[in-house]
Amino acid sequence: MSLVDRDKAVVWHPYTQMKTAAPPLAIVRGQGVYLYTEDGRQLLDGISSWWVNIHGHSHPRLNQAIAEQAKKIEHVIFAGATHEPAVELAERLVGILPAGLTRIFYSDNGSTAVEVAIKLAVQYWQNAGKPDRRGIVALRHAYHGDTIGAMSVSEESVFTQPFAPLLFPVDRVHPGELEDHLKAHGQRIAAVIVEPMLQGAGGMIIWPAESLARVRELCYRHGVLMIADEVLTGFGRTGRMFACEHASVTPDIICLSKALTAGYLPMAVTAVTNAVYGAFLSDDRAKTFFHGHSFTANPLGCAVALASLDLFEEGNLLERIGRLERQLREGLSPLAALPAVADVRVIGGVGVVELRSDSGGYLDTIGPRLYEEFLARGILLRPLGNVLYFMPPYVITDAEVDWVVGCIGDVVKGLEARG
């Protein structure tokens, strides 16, 4: 029996209508930017395996870091115990995060990093004696994950609709509406949560650094905490190590995951300022942050994250991402003139081609068609409905970028020829 047949008998895949979905790709191996299938195909990983991979697949240095760590300690409870990789990673992160983020809380995926951020924000105000400040403001088109809290702060969508009765109420605003909203309701707001510079799953929407700076300023003015969800944007995706740097802002709370471990292991961080941390220090045990996960600060995850930071620094990757950005901009911009294209936008290592569509949204049928067209050419791209994007690992070569950009042009023009 093939892997796909065995899979079909017992596995349930994420975001997948199991009745109608095409068989999954059976991946047997990865190397650099390429994935290899059981039936002998080579596919360029154009979405960094759900935005997590930055140094390529099966990188010898990262493999070695995990193997070495496994020989020492693979995992240990993180309440009442600590270990070298967790401490060193926290030290290294504090050194590179926007200045003022000084305390690292570990969890294990992007959604839990967001849950931690929301819970910290709400309890912060309770501990500070202002329990009425418990509202959360989120941006329109936001996506922060699939757990109940993360869904609550995400835009309402086909993802969240069945669970509407379970979600807590959240104020949703466009960045331009935030000032009026905080003027009217700031007193009951605990925090504003944003995806700095780039809203990912909500449609790869790039928003201006000035608006981000404005969010920071308004949060300060109204005494509201600012949460930056950098689960996607962290570790260079937008051309800076952290997207908050585009506006030189320090949020009160930041969420990291995905590329934190270079896409190797599920791990996340929620980092906070001294002021947030300080509100939890008390002789009153009820002010403790009672939150944790079995795999909190997993040593293997921390070890690979440390090795990933080494590669980042040694490879001068921010410069490499700058070159990638210029190449994407030059290559994709001409497509904006095509009638089928509504918009082309680029930030850092992310190139986006939004196609015109009648329905739009995640369920737009153009997405699966494009997915198949690119697979046939040896490229894994997974459009968000009518929003086609290319977000490769940084180890991609200039020639490979040219090739993918050329294929994107051909496929989009092909769509027009067929109508």
Ligand X SMILES: Cc1ncc(COP(=O)(O)O)c(C=O)c1O
CB of 109 to ligand X, least distance (A): 4
201 is a contact residue toward ligand X (CB under 6 A): yes
| 309-348 positions binding ligand X, by CB under 6 A | none
Q: Which lies closer to ligand X via its Cβ, residue 133 or residue 141?
A: 141
200 is a contact residue toward ligand X (CB under 6 A): yes
**Helix, strand or coil for residue 55?**
coil
383 is a contact residue toward ligand X (CB under 6 A): no
- Secondary structure percentages of the chain, helix, strand, coil, to 5: 45, 20, 40
Question: Could you tell me which residues come within 8 angstroms of residue 68 by beta carbon, excluding any fewer than 6 positions away?
Answer: 303
Sequence-separated contacts (24+) of 329-336 with Cβ below 8 Å = 331/401, 331/402, 331/405, 331/406, 331/409, 332/405, 332/408, 334/409, 335/408, 335/409, 335/412
Q: Which lies closer to ligand X via its Cβ, residue 127 or residue 261?
A: 261
**Nearest to 302, CA basis, from 90, 33, 14, 17:** 90
> With contact defined as beta carbons under 8 Å apart, do 202 and 166 qualify?
no
Closest residue to ligand X: CB criterion: 110
Segment lying near ligand X (by CB under 6 A), choices 74-82, 229-237, 320-328, 405-413 = 229-237
Of 48, 69, 107, 111, the residue at the interface with ligand X (CB under 6 A) is 111
364 is a contact residue toward ligand X (CB under 6 A): no
- Active site annotation includes 106: no
Of 123, 257, 273, 308, the residue at the interface with ligand X (CB under 6 A) is 257
Amino acid identity at 366: I
Q: Which lies closer to ligand X via its Cβ, residue 197 or residue 324?
A: 197
Alpha-carbon distance values, 347 to 18, 42, 128, 233, 333 (Å): 34, 27, 39, 10, 12
CB of 228 to ligand X, least distance (A): 10
**Nearest to 282, CA basis, from 129, 113, 131, 105:** 129
Q: Which lies closer to ligand X via its Cβ, residue 83 or residue 144?
A: 144
78-97 mask for ligand X (x: CB under 6 A)? --------------------
203 is a contact residue toward ligand X (CB under 6 A): no
> With contact defined as beta carbons under 8 Å apart, do 354 and 386 qualify?
yes
CB of 162 to ligand X, least distance (A): 18
144 is a contact residue toward ligand X (CB under 6 A): yes
CB of 5 to ligand X, least distance (A): 28
- Active site annotation includes 277: no
Number of H helices, E strands in the chain: 13, 16
| Catalytic-labelled residue, pool 45, 108, 171, 229 | 229
- Active site annotation includes 15: yes
Distance CA 204, CA 212 (A): 16
390 is a contact residue toward ligand X (CB under 6 A): no
> With contact defined as beta carbons under 8 Å apart, do 228 and 254 qualify?
yes
Do β-strands 341-347 and 379-380 pair in parallel, antiparallel, or remain unpaired? unpaired
- The tokens for 312 are 């980042």
Q: Where are the alpha helices (DSSP H) in 222-342?
A: 274-278, 299-314, 317-332
Q: Is residue 225 within a helix (H) or strand (E), and if so which, with residue range?
A: strand 225-229
Of 231, 304, 381, 412, the residue at the interface with ligand X (CB under 6 A) is 231
| Catalytic-labelled residue, pool 106, 143, 264, 394 | 143
- Active site annotation includes 146: no
Segment lying near ligand X (by CB under 6 A), choices 103-111, 177-185, 245-253, 406-414 = 103-111
> How many chain residues interact with ligand X (CB under 6 A)?
14
Of 85, 98, 110, 239, the residue at the interface with ligand X (CB under 6 A) is 110
| Catalytic-labelled residue, pool 108, 258, 264, 389 | 258
229 is a contact residue toward ligand X (CB under 6 A): yes
Active-site annotation, residues = 15, 143, 229, 258
Instruction: Write out the residues near ligand X by the rule CB under 6 A.
Output: 109-111, 114, 143-145, 195, 200-201, 229, 231-232, 257
